[in-house]
Amino acid sequence: GGHTRLLLKAGARVLALDADSEQIKRLAVSDPELCANTRCTIVNANFADIAQVALAHDYVSVHGVVLDL
């Protein structure tokens, strides 16, 4: 959430991937404002699928990628 909040504050669009669906559910409870932000898309997916997920959500080009392993 921390990286995402900083990127959104800077005006970026964020595509957030998390392979752990339970973590996404916890985030929805702990930070509903972040999850409701229209510039933030949270997807239950693995980083290995980033290209397909990005295209499916209209991210044709990007200016950067942050991986928080």
d(CA 12, CA 7): 5
List pLDDT tens digits, range 6-53: 999 999 999 999 999 999 999 899 989 888 899 999 999 999 999 999
pTM of the model: 0.84
State the virtual CA torsion across 25, 26, 30, 35 in degrees, nearest 10.
-30
pLDDT, residue 49, reads 96
Higher pLDDT, 36 or 68: 36
